[in-house]
Structure 1
Amino acid sequence: RPHRQLTPSAPATPIPRPPPPGGEMAPCCPAESTKPAFIGIFGAIVGGFAVSAVFFLLSFSSITAPALPFPVVTATTTNLSALSTPAQPETMYNRPIWKSPARGSRMPSPRAFRLTRDMVRARARDGVIVVTFGNYAFMDFILTWVRHLTGLGVDNLLVGAMDTKLLRQLYLTGVPVFDMGSRMVTEDVGWGSPTFHKMGREKVLLINELLPFGYELLMCDTDMVWLKNPLPYLARYPSADLLTSSDQVIPTVTDDSLENWREVTGAYNIGIFHWRPTEPAKRLAKDWKDLVISDDKIWDQNAFNDLVHTVFGQPVQGEDELVYSYDGKLKLGVLPASIFCSGHTYFVQGMHQQLRLEPYAVHTTFQYAGTEGKRHRLREAMLFFDQPSYYDSPVLQLLQQHELLL
């Protein structure tokens, strides 16, 4: 039927219909006039059913599915643990490693680089902090040290800067750094020199400063690199107050257990050692500090060895790999030299290869030619992060090919 448009000025007039055969139509409601009423009634009935269904479903769901404390999310896109712990604002302390400060930003004030408990808390993981330190002459060693750790997924680290030049460069590179306040020269001081021994005393002071913060401390020299995450290994000995590396060159064990302390003849090497903030460890650190400060001719490593052997030789009951030392209460363990390697056990003996073990670290001890010799030892083993031009040199490529042929 054609649509009739209504206008106010021309009211619609009904269209006359012819009468049906047989006479006039009896007066009643035509079918067309009942359609709108029928549609309205039908819609009301359907709407009532819909509303009732909604109320029923809501009441049912409130019984079977209690409200969650946080919005439902997919595990693939959101870390649920992050929902319960508010995200901490990014600072120079917790900033991701290798993330440089924003271009054009100002250098923070010297006070911001002071070593504090808050700084250590921001970087520590599972109660552990890994620390090294040095001056600008060792910056390439420090960057190598950091790159190896971050490559292993270890970012709970801090670097102590002994001069302002290193402090600035590490900060701009995105390495978490603090000021040791040493005002050290930026040049290589040379092994055995008076300045070298001063650096050793700085390490002792630093350990005494860190232990009261209450975190486990893995202290490292900068002339070593990590090849495997050491933290799970150290956690295997939770009752040890101190785990130290050594200059042992003859293996006392053939697996990855601690050295047999009864057979260790090499000096304990303080280039890699792990401290727990226990009372015996704190007392040892304080006595060590007092000893090296009393006489600037005392070598820090010799002083450490003398102190831990003051009382020595009683095994820890139930933990035969540990020995009571120092004051008879400190529990000491010696890290295996086959996998926490010295320069001799790694580069010369290849002890880890002989025992078919995976090394955790190599410390470039027992090396001639000083710092440069250590640098080249790491380069030869392809463990040093150097300029690409060095490793691309024709001479080095020829040497590598010759070694492969051998």
Structure 2
Amino acid sequence: MGWSNPFKEVATSRPLFLTIYATVIIGLLVSSFYVFSAVFSGSNSISSSSWIVSGANATESPSISFHPVSDSSIHVVAGVTLDNTSEHRESLQPIWKAPAPGSKMPPLETFKLTKELAGKRVKDNVIIVTFGNFAFMDFILSWVKHLSDMGVDNLLVGAMDIKLLEALYWKGVPVFDMGSHMSTVDVGWGSPTFHKMGREKVILIDSFLPFGFELLMCDTDMVWLKRHRVNMLTSVIYMFVWVLGIAMFCMHDSVLMPLAVENPLPYLARFPEADVLTSTDQVAPTVVDDRLDDWRLAGAAYNIGIFHWRPTPSSKKLAKEWKEMLIADDKIWDQNGFNEIVRKQLGPSVDEDSGLVYAYDGELKLGLLPASIFCSGHTYFVQALYEQLRLEPYAVHTTFQYGGTEGKRHRLREAKVFYDPPEYYDTPGGFLTFKPHIPKNLMLDGEHNFDSHFALVNYQIKQIRTALAIASLLGRTLVMPPLWCRLDRLWFGHPGILPGTLTRQPFICPLDHVFEVNVMLKDLPVEEFGPDINIREYSFLENPYMPQEVKDSWLDVHLCQEGSPGCGVSNSTNPAGILKFPKRSTEETETEERFRRRMKRYTGIWCCVGDHRPGHIYYDAYWDEKPGWKAKPPRTPEEDHPPL
């Protein structure tokens, strides 16, 4: 039934519903004014973000204001005042503003870490820091670009060698000298130099805290994710739902609805009582929204790749003790040392709502950043936990991966969050891509076990093997296809997927779950392994940085019978734009033998069978040539080697 006289209906309604109607109408008017003002204010991505926070996750009631947001506004987020005045912003040197041509490099002493140097990069008393050596230059540039694209410029990079220091300076990236005099090459995970880098992190934290600034310390192998900006219409709808929620007395206890949900700092500011906020290796969700992870359920290690410190007496005491521990024993891994110290005491909760817990000395207030939105390599690349919980991720750290630094880089490229130079997207010789065919029964039928997993993966390996052979003969770069798996890969025994996780079966698994990415990207001796075969990630052609002219320059490849007209190993096409390629052209003896040796190096292992030592099973690129091949771990140490 329609309203014949809506005003009469309202007038005769109960007082409760009159309140609801009035609240909704007023809320819509106010929120519409707020949205239009924010959208057309012309301010940047940070200063144009006004945040609405419920008080459940803050120890103080937030100040909520509805007004046009301008460059001179001061935001209040969860009780913490964020000064975004234009005068303060303009005091920061713009990122990427390179020194004037012909200018000279300042003396090295200029880059020494001091409170004055750090203070030049501070905004709202917060500074974001990462560090590394020249081997991680591309990771660092990617890290900086993600933040600068969000409009976040209160950042600083620590250079562990002079080569990196000079390179960043000439690119206009804020940098300081750590005085480490470290090698410029990749040191490798777990090496003595790797552990030295870990100690440098602790020394940095201990050095920054006395300056009185809040410190967001990050590893270089993580990226901040630029989240989707909410458009004007969606904002109005969100505001309507929010206001209606107030009217119906059903406010969610952790609602946070910004217009531009990208800058991570307001999230951290929701927990002003926290001394330390840390990421974790937790893979099973302990919460299903954006609250802090439940410390009582999060049993995994605290991961120090994303780390927020406030300069409180407890945090300073912790940093000092942690530093002294690592200096006294250089065999202790920095992360293990932190976990050991901070878990000396764990509990009770600070209060009922914030999610913080008393830790370390009983005074330190610790918070665990939710693994669903401050993601590990597992919750982001394998589970896509944020997607399943309908959340927007803030960051991803490339943990839970295989293949060293090359594997980390490839993971980020698969996710389209790594910044590469233009030449990466348009290489000489061109690209080769193919659409794999996978029968439905291999994907979905039967139980998810060793046999069904290897049947699915082996089927794909055979197709990839053929594609790599064609790419090798044509001198083209192969765009790898998405790879489907039915079982997860870890470095310890497990039943196929980890209990409690939201891992879907089957799922698109990272390339390093099956292939040795570090070997595929390595220069192998041509005389033994044939010419290098360059590869690109499966999402390569979908990357927004891919030039349109490259996307438009397609050729169709048809496999043909050797000896038939127009069939030969060549990049020449027929008038219809079709490249014909002989089916058996990979079988020239010398070329094939070198290619076979290369392929045998490319495949990796699945890990691990729980009740067997060793528990890994080797993938075999030529499984189809071995009748009766079956997935099983090596029975003896003599059998524990890649397939021959």
Equivalence for 1:39: none
Matched, 1:150 2:148: yes
Displacement after TM superposition at 1:402 (Å): 8.9
Gaps of 5+ in 2: 1-40, 43-69, 74-84, 226-261, 432-477, 482-537, 544-644
Quote the Cα distance in structure 2 between the aligned partners of 1:338 and 1:195: 31
Which one of 305, 325, 329 corresponds to residue 271 of structure 1?
305
**Structure 2: which amino acid aligns with 1:292?**
L
Displacement after TM superposition at 1:224 (Å): 0.4
Quote the Cα distance in structure 2 between the aligned partners of 1:113 and 1:400: 39
Equivalence for 2:396: 362
Do the aligned partners of 2:216 and 2:309 also contact (CA within 8 Å) in 1? yes
Gaps of 5+ in 1: 1-74
Quote the Cα distance in structure 2 between the aligned partners of 1:386 and 1:102: 25
TM-score, normalization by structure 2 = 0.48
Equivalence for 1:283: 317
**Structure 2: which amino acid aligns with 1:127?**
N
Deviations 1:118-144 (A, max 9, x none): 111111100000000000000000000
Equivalence for 2:406: 372
**Structure 2: which amino acid aligns with 1:230?**
P
**Structure 1: which amino acid aligns with 2:277?**
L
Matched, 1:101 2:99: yes
Equivalence for 1:21: none
Look up the SS of the partner of 1:321 in the other structure: coil
Deviations 1:111-170 (A, max 9, x none): 100011111111110000000000000000000000000011100000000000000000
Look up the SS of the partner of 1:324 in the other structure: strand
Equivalence for 2:138: 140
Look up the SS of the partner of 2:413 in the other structure: helix
Which one of 220, 223, 229 corresponds to residue 221 of structure 2?
223
Quote the Cα distance in structure 2 between the aligned partners of 1:195 and 1:80: 46
Displacement after TM superposition at 1:317 (Å): 2.6
Quote the Cα distance in structure 2 between the aligned partners of 1:353 and 1:205: 37
Do the aligned partners of 1:114 and 1:180 also contact (CA within 8 Å) in 2? yes
Equivalence for 1:200: 198
Deviations 1:27-79 (A, max 9, x none): xxxxxxxxxxxxxxxxxxxxxxxxxxxxxxxxxxxxxxxxxxxxxxxx99x98
Look up the SS of the partner of 1:337 in the other structure: coil
Matches of residues 195-344 of structure 1 in structure 2 within 5 Å? Answer: 195-227=193-225, 228-344=262-378
Identity over aligned residues, as a percent? 66
Detail structure 1 runs of 4+ shifted over 3 Å in the superposition.
78-81, 85-88, 395-404
Look up the SS of the partner of 2:408 in the other structure: helix
Look up the SS of the partner of 1:346 in the other structure: helix
Equivalence for 1:131: 129
Displacement after TM superposition at 1:265 (Å): 1.2
Point out which structure has higher relative CO (alpha carbons under 8 A, 6+ apart): 1
Do the aligned partners of 2:152 and 2:263 also contact (CA within 8 Å) in 1? yes
Which one of 171, 174, 195 corresponds to residue 172 of structure 2?
174
Displacement after TM superposition at 1:319 (Å): 4.0
RMSD of equivalent CA atoms:
2.5
Look up the SS of the partner of 1:153 in the other structure: coil
Distance 1:110 1:388, change over 3 A: same
Look up the SS of the partner of 1:145 in the other structure: helix
Quote the Cα distance in structure 2 between the aligned partners of 1:216 and 1:86: 21
Distance 1:107 1:299, change over 3 A: same
**Structure 2: which amino acid aligns with 1:302?**
N
Distance 1:86 1:351, change over 3 A: closer
Do the aligned partners of 1:218 and 1:272 also contact (CA within 8 Å) in 2? yes
Do the aligned partners of 2:71 and 2:86 also contact (CA within 8 Å) in 1? no
**Structure 2: which amino acid aligns with 1:294?**
A
Displacement after TM superposition at 1:397 (Å): 9.1
Do the aligned partners of 2:271 and 2:354 also contact (CA within 8 Å) in 1? no
Quote the Cα distance in structure 2 between the aligned partners of 1:218 and 1:87: 23
Look up the SS of the partner of 2:157 in the other structure: strand
**Structure 2: which amino acid aligns with 1:347?**
F
Which one of 397, 406, 421 corresponds to residue 387 of structure 1?
421
Quote the Cα distance in structure 2 between the aligned partners of 1:391 and 1:101: 28
Displacement after TM superposition at 1:392 (Å): 4.0
Matched, 1:120 2:118: yes
Displacement after TM superposition at 1:182 (Å): 0.3
Look up the SS of the partner of 1:217 in the other structure: strand
**Structure 2: which amino acid aligns with 1:109?**
P
Distance 1:397 1:368, change over 3 A: closer
Equivalence for 2:638: none
Do the aligned partners of 1:391 and 1:397 also contact (CA within 8 Å) in 2? no
**Structure 2: which amino acid aligns with 1:179?**
D
Do the aligned partners of 1:218 and 1:273 also contact (CA within 8 Å) in 2? yes
Displacement after TM superposition at 1:387 (Å): 2.0
Deviations 1:312-353 (A, max 9, x none): 121103445010000000000000000000011101110011
Distance 1:400 1:201, change over 3 A: closer
Quote the Cα distance in structure 1 between the aligned partners of 2:368 and 2:96: 33
Look up the SS of the partner of 1:115 in the other structure: coil
Deviations 1:85-123 (A, max 9, x none): 9979x9xx9421100001111100111000111111111
Look up the SS of the partner of 2:303 in the other structure: strand
Distance 1:152 1:403, change over 3 A: closer
Which one of 164, 187, 191 corresponds to residue 185 of structure 2?
187
**Structure 1: which amino acid aligns with 2:274?**
A
